[in-house]
Amino acid sequence: MQKTSKLARDGAVWGLIMVAPTILGLLVLNIWPFIQAIYMSFSKSKPFGMFEFEGLDNYIEMFQNTEFWKANWNTIFFCVLTVPVGIFLALLVATLLNSKIRGRTTFRAIFFLPMVVAPAAVAMVWKWIFNSQYGIINTLLGLNIGWLTDSNIVLITCAVVQIWSNIGYDAVLLLAGLQNISPTLYEAADLDGASKTRQFFDITLPMVSPTLFVVLIMRLMSSLKVFDLIYMMVDDANPALNDAQSLMSLFYRESFIAGDKGYASAIVVWTVLLIGVVTVLQFVGQKKWVNYEV
């Protein structure tokens, strides 16, 4: 009995030793900076990296700022544009790749390729494609549309690039979920005379719903904190900047350009709370549509 207890204790010690680097990295690189950001959000930036505690002034200023609410709307609208369409296309691609087609391994690699390319490179290529003067789209179609300068369509243009960039990765995740579905379920459905459409909605969707739920969480979080894509495609001189600026873009401008790190930290805290609320709602809602039964 003592020997078993000693082995269990030694196993626990070695387990803690093994996870210590990860825990240390989490504390140093994630938790402690966020604690600092919370403190800074209640403070006013001073010279030489100093801060002076001022209570709720940054939050009051933030909630009274129309630019902040515009960035909120842009971020939510970007989610609405990218998440449903992106997941639908990813599921469609995953379903096609899961079927018996020639060269499907090659197609999987092609769809996944955007994920291994640097986001900055992707943004710059698409920025050239959408250029209003010499972009390939306007040139081929004979149009004169300001894809990135028109305030009415700039966010839609960025959303197209976001969907294109993520569809391969999401499709690979969903493909893994599809391949875990037992073929006997489809065989039984065939014997019952169920059509392919009925099989998709009654078998495929319920069985792949746990993977779909994970992809949904990832996409919503990614869209709510989008920065690099919009930053690279819509520069500061762009007349449509205010209509494309996300919460993280506003944070960058306030922190690293305007130098008001206290106000910028308040934006970060608000964004984290927004992501937290959305995530909680997803976990509450998933009880109604996610099927964990095998």
Instruction: Give the per-residue pLDDT at 8.
Output: 67
d(CA 240, CA 151): 5
Instruction: Give the per-residue pLDDT at 190.
Output: 84
Instruction: Give the per-residue pLDDT at 267.
Output: 95
pLDDT at 10 over 70: no
Q: For residue 119, which amino acid is it?
A: P
In Å, how far are 162, 189, 193, 206 from 198, measured between CA atoms?
31, 9, 10, 12
Report the range of poorest mean pLDDT among 28-32, 104-108, 163-167, 226-230.
104-108
pLDDT, mean of residues 24-46: 88
pLDDT, mean of residues 89-113: 80
DSSP per-residue string spanning 79-146: HHHHHHHHHHHHHHHHHHHHS--TTHHHHHHHHHGGGGS-HHHHHHHHHHHT-TTT-HHHHHHT----
Report the range of poorest mean pLDDT among 22-36, 103-117, 118-132.
103-117
Instruction: Give the per-residue pLDDT at 180.
Output: 87
Tokens 């609320």 locate to: 277
pLDDT at 116 over 70: yes
Instruction: Give the per-residue pLDDT at 7.
Output: 64
Between residues 9 and 195, the one the model is more confident about: 195
Instruction: Give the per-residue pLDDT at 203.
Output: 86
pLDDT digits (tens, 9 = 90+) for 63-99: 999 999 999 999 999 999 999 999 999 999 898 888 7
pLDDT at 2 over 60: no
pLDDT at 102 over 80: no
213: closest CA among 164, 174, 165?
Answer: 174
Please answer whether residues 34 and 272 qualify as being in contact, where contact means their C-beta atoms are separated by less than 8 angstroms.
yes
pLDDT at 6 over 70: no
pLDDT, mean of residues 185-203: 84
- What CATH code would you report for 65-289? 1.10.3720.10
Residues 6+ apart with CB under 8 A from 239: 149, 151
Please give the structure tokens belonging to residue 233: 């495609």
Listed by start position, the domains of the chain span 65-289
d(CA 275, CA 266): 14
Q: What distance lies between CA 189 and its chain's CA centroid? A: 36
How high is the mean pLDDT of the chain? 87
pLDDT, mean of residues 134-149: 88
Instruction: Give the per-residue pLDDT at 88.
Output: 94
pLDDT, mean of residues 124-128: 90
d(CA 62, CA 56): 10
d(CA 275, CA 83): 14
Instruction: Give the per-residue pLDDT at 29.
Output: 86
pLDDT, mean of residues 174-180: 89
